[in-house]
Chains A and B, each alone.
Chain A
Amino acid sequence: MVEIEHLCKNFGSLKAVDEVSFGVDRGEVLGFLGPNGAGKSTTMRMITGFLAPDAGRVRVCGDDIATNPLQVKRRIGYLPEGAPLYGDMTPRAFLRFIAEIRGYRGKERELAVDSVVEKVNLQPALEKPIDTLSKGFKRRVGLAQAIIHDPEVLVLDEPTDGLDPNQKHEVRTLIKGMAKEKAIILSTHILEEVDAVCTRAVIISAGRIVSDSTPAELLARSRFHNAVSISIRANTVDGMAEAFRALPAVDSVEVLEAKDGCVRLQLFPAGDAAIAAAVSELARERNWALEELHLERGRLDDVFRDITSGESAQSRG
């Protein structure tokens, strides 16, 4: 539904976006990741037609944004970074305005506003000026204006930024609920979010795509993927690390902590091996009192740092 080909944008001598290409289909939630200033917002602004690219093409459902901007803009719902809103309006007046621009008139307009208000739970704030609302409500108004016309493509620039954990959860639930029938692009720098809502993760750094994979594949690239952390009730760590390291599937062992009669170890597998069963069996054989055994799926922030830090250091200096 969304096809982006060789998109470039320069600001002076800075290459903000450099040869970015990807596609998003219906049912996909594409997480757009990258450090601040990597070019996420600039890319989204080009997809939504706010900025014109220096080179490359954006097509939405077959229409090119450069030649047919209105057609494309009709199909897209967009939440810009920071969810800017007309602060002196009430959410109702604001949503009516958006609905009218989106082509709803009279009764249809009221229906569109009412149904979107229900979808994002905006009723309690409907008649207060937007400026006086809490951050959570403001963000809901921003989301409401983006989805009021039930767009085929949804572009959300940091939809959960600055929200508290409950509000984040609400927004994610809302996005997941819409994911099936839309193509969604959302940018974030919160990695747990990618794992929670995205079906695909594109990582961008210094304007270039450095990784395009599923969240699971990203996790698999982590050093901690399939690693096991254990706590054993024991006064001394002597011999333990060696014993675990002797297991064929275990590559290396790190002692994390040894105090108050409790030893914590981190065991890394050789390759993709599953080591949890072997580890617990060994502990039982040796009569070590196993307090806790935890299988790690991988640490996204590690992978993220690995992928983005080298790149950005090179080209940004």
Chain B
Amino acid sequence: MPNVWTIFKRELSGYFSTPIAYVFLVIFVVLSGVFTFYVGSYFERDQADLRSFFQFHPWLYLFLIPALAMRLWAEERRSGTLELLLTLPITMTQAVLGKFLAAWAFSAIALLLTLPLWLTTNYLGNPDNGVIMASYAGSLLMAGAFLAIGACMSALTRNQVIAFVITAAVCLGFVLSGYPLVLEFVGAFAPEFVVEAVGSFSFLSHFTEVSKGVIDVRDLVFFVSLMAYWLFANAGVIELKKAE
């Protein structure tokens, strides 16, 4: 556990020692503002809630989270530090967890920076703060799932751009899998239970459930097990492709 903490610290401070951190945070806050007020019609809706803020998170994450995850392993591979890291007395699990948690903590920081929006809403009206809290939790969980996918994809390549593109593509699949477009396409050739299975992998539907204020165990299990799965795959990919 101390090793996870050491790796976590190094990784997180790594974000802040380059402009990536600040660019990311600024873009995240600005874009979520734009989505909330312009696209989501925060004022016009005349409702004291943050639905117009949260409903765009899956789309925001779709291209911002891959940017956060792409350097996790690809950079280690490119610079050769992977060899340094994996010959230190740490286990693969510690390395994978430390890095993932650092990226996740960073996305939590980004979310924290949107708190003024919550305060504003409380100033303007009487929102259901329970719902908002649940939405924040759901958003963070979803970010974690995106990040776990990104970490695994980043382990596949030494090229950060490739890692970004593949991650975005895979994440898009997970976001869209609840959409009629995808479901009808799958339904055209696959039996009903496959369609349901594909639909149940949708980030969108799970996130929408959570952001209604109901934290269902199933949604929790969904996101947590998805993270566990992708991190497990992440460790496997590193183990397999170390020599390259």
Residues in A lying within 8 Å of B, measured CB to CB: 11, 45, 48-51, 70, 73-74, 76, 78, 80-82, 84-89, 93, 97-98, 100-103, 129, 145
Contacts and interface: CB of A to CB of B under 8 A. Distances in A.
A74 B89 contact: yes
A48 B87 contact: yes
Interface in B90-144: 90-91
Contact of A51 (B3, B6, B13, B243): B243
Nearest to B16: A88
A87 B242 CA distance: 21
A169 to B, nearest CB: 25
B231 to A, nearest CB: 20
Nearest to A90: B17
A81 B80 CA distance: 9
Interface of B: 2-3, 6-7, 9-10, 13-14, 17-18, 79-81, 83-84, 86-91, 242-243
B243 A11 contact: yes
B83 A84 contact: yes
Given A50-B242, A97-B10, A102-B88, 12 more contacts: A11-B243, A50-B86, A70-B89, A73-B87, A74-B89, A82-B80, A84-B79, A84-B84, A86-B81, A98-B88, A100-B6, A101-B89
B88 A85 contact: no
Main secondary structure of the interface of B (DSSP, over half): helix
B6 A101 contact: yes
B14 A73 contact: no
A11 B14 CA distance: 34
Nearest to B79: A84
B91 A89 contact: no
B36 to A, nearest CB: 33
Contacts of B242: 50-51
A105 B89 CA distance: 15
A50 B14 CA distance: 24
Contacts of B9: 97
Nearest to A87: B79
B6 A86 contact: no
A135 to B, nearest CB: 15
Contacts of B10: 86, 89, 97
Contacts of B88: 73, 98, 101-102
A48 B242 CA distance: 13
A80 B13 contact: no
Nearest to A85: B81
A101 B90 CA distance: 8
A80 B17 contact: no
Contacts of A78: 84, 87
5 smallest CB-CB distances across A and B, nearest first, come from A84-B80, A73-B89, A80-B83, A48-B87, A100-B6
A88 B18 contact: yes
A102 B243 CA distance: 24
13 contacts: A50-B86, A70-B90, A80-B80, A80-B83, A80-B87, A82-B80, A87-B79, A89-B14, A93-B13, A101-B88, A101-B89, A101-B90, A145-B84
